Amino acid sequence: MIVPDHCGAVLTIDLDAVAANYRLLADKSGKAICAAVVKADAYGLGMAKLVPALAAAGCGNFFVATIDEGIELRNVLADVSIYVLNGPAPDSGPVFAECRLTPVLNSPWNIEAWAAYCNGRGNPLPAVIHIDTGMSRLGLSLRELEDLTAKPERLASVKLAAVMSHLACADEPGHEMNRRQLTSFRRALTRLPKTATSMANSSGIFLGADYHFDMTRPGAALYGISPIKDGPNPMAQVVRLQAEILQIRDVDTPLTVGYGATCQVGRGGRIATVAAGYADGYLRSLSNCGCGFIGNYQAPVIGRVSMDLITLDVSKIPHDAARPGVMVDLIGPSQPVDEVARRAGTIGYEILTGLGARYRRIYSGGKA
């Protein structure tokens, strides 16, 4: 295959930073086992590359969203526990069994399907039961839990591996939901057979030991997103995104920039056109408000983000710094993913999972 030397944009993912983040989160999890959430292709960063680094750092429990992700992960790591958050469908039992995937049972419908499958094969297989305590997304309602405990035979053919819940507002330590969900989860646990328990996501780990239970389930913080809304980010940055300056435009006549002509530049200005756009996950909401860094020089995005390109105002940057062929930092040391997200009006998670397929990806570190 022909591979050009040249590449418009480069995404560098620091596997050592991922491992360091895992170790910090495991430490902060106290006595709890620290799992890793690697759904959505490890938050867009590449499950196949990240999970060996996490396993080498000591992680033996992984959560994915879908069965397809579970299969992919099993093909990478043969000997870890894999939990599938979105649960089993009625027909998916054999695939779960063959790949040794543990389903999270979110609803009476899930429990029925899994029990029927286990019954049919004649031996119970492990599953996690998910109790909803306030997300109202997946998990048994407290009413459904009552129904279940009233008919314990419905769980007879299921091997209960753990009971879990999920926090809705853990990034706001003062939010009343946290304490309310904790109380609700504890109450639910008294109604079920004694087993392993799990509640905390990344931010939940930082809510303190009450929230740790037997297993924590960080995702975002592994990838450098701050688990703490106010205050410094304790996590190492994992991602650096750089894109090339394709062209520099010296403005000799006042002009408008980009689609819809939303930005004017006067005589004497300089514009850099850079090889990344919203098809690469550089969100269109960064139009006229994102920025890049050329070394330590900040260059504001001017005009609308287009599909494959952005335009930066480099008027105040020395000519030898801002020239064709130079790489501009769009996410990196000067501008962590959370800051890019803030400018885009979203959260770091969406920036990471949106990173497109067109970058050349470089994985640094990760050797044993």
By CB under 8 A, what part of segment 1-30 binds its own copies? 1-2, 4-8
**Could you tell me whether strands 9-14 and 360-364 are parallel, antiparallel, or unpaired per DSSP bridges?**
parallel
Tokens 């929230």, residue located: 211
**Could you tell me whether strands 101-105 and 125-130 are parallel, antiparallel, or unpaired per DSSP bridges?**
parallel
Return the SS3 of 26.
Answer: helix
For the segment 146-175, give every residue that binds its own copies (CB under 8 A): 168-169, 172, 175
Residue among 12 and 353 whose Cβ is closer to its own copies: 353
Residue among 209 and 261 whose Cβ is closer to its own copies: 261
Candidate residues 125, 271, 291, 314; the one interacting with its own copies per rule CB under 8 A: 271
Kindly state the tokens that stand for 46. Answer: 């590449």
Burial class (CB in 10 A: 0-12, 13-18, 19+), 20: middle
* Known catalytic residue at 22: no
Contact between 195 and its own copies by CB under 8 A: the answer reads no
Bridge partners (DSSP) of residue 12 are: 240, 362
Kindly state the tokens that stand for 21. Answer: 């983040």
Q: Which stretch binds its own copies (CB under 8 A): 16-24, 54-62, 265-273, 328-336?
A: 265-273
Greatest extent of the chain over all pairs of C-alpha atoms, in Å: 80
Contact between 98 and its own copies by CB under 8 A: the answer reads yes
Kindly state the tokens that stand for 318. Answer: 């020395």
Residue among 14 and 171 whose Cβ is closer to its own copies: 171
Residue among 278 and 293 whose Cβ is closer to its own copies: 278
Among the listed residues 151, 229, 259, 316, the single catalytic one is 259
Candidate residues 67, 161, 225, 291; the one interacting with its own copies per rule CB under 8 A: 67
Residue among 316 and 365 whose Cβ is closer to its own copies: 316
Contact between 346 and its own copies by CB under 8 A: the answer reads yes
For the segment 115-134, give every residue that binds its own copies (CB under 8 A): 132, 134
Candidate residues 12, 149, 233, 247; the one interacting with its own copies per rule CB under 8 A: 247
Residue among 210 and 250 whose Cβ is closer to its own copies: 250
For the segment 281-340, give every residue that binds its own copies (CB under 8 A): 281, 283-285, 303, 306-309, 311, 324-325
Between CA 103 and CA 94 the distance in angstroms is 12
**C-beta neighbour count of 273 within 10 angstroms:** 19
Contact between 363 and its own copies by CB under 8 A: the answer reads no
Query: Is the separation of the CB atoms in 131 and 185 below 8 Å?
Result: yes
Residue among 30 and 88 whose Cβ is closer to its own copies: 88
Closest alpha carbon to 189 in 124, 140, 262: 140
Q: What are phi and psi of 332, to 5 degrees?
A: 170, -160
* Known catalytic residue at 39: yes
For the segment 71-90, give every residue that binds its own copies (CB under 8 A): 71, 85-87, 89-90
Burial class (CB in 10 A: 0-12, 13-18, 19+), 75: exposed
Per-residue x/- track, 30-59, its own copies (CB under 8 A): ---------xxx-xx---------------
Between CA 330 and CA 275 the distance in angstroms is 11
Return the SS3 of 61.
Answer: strand
Closest alpha carbon to 304 in 273, 345, 337, 258: 258
Shortest separation between residue 8's beta carbon and its own copies, angstroms: 6
Candidate residues 92, 198, 226, 242; the one interacting with its own copies per rule CB under 8 A: 92
Q: Which stretch binds its own copies (CB under 8 A): 17-25, 66-74, 191-199, 314-322?
A: 66-74
Indicate if the alpha-carbon torsion angle 346, 347, 351, 353 is positive or negative. Answer: negative
Closest alpha carbon to 220 in 44, 8, 357, 51: 44
Shortest separation between residue 260's beta carbon and its own copies, angstroms: 6
Contact between 97 and its own copies by CB under 8 A: the answer reads no
Among the listed residues 39, 117, 223, 349, the single catalytic one is 39
Q: Which residues are catalytic?
A: 39, 259
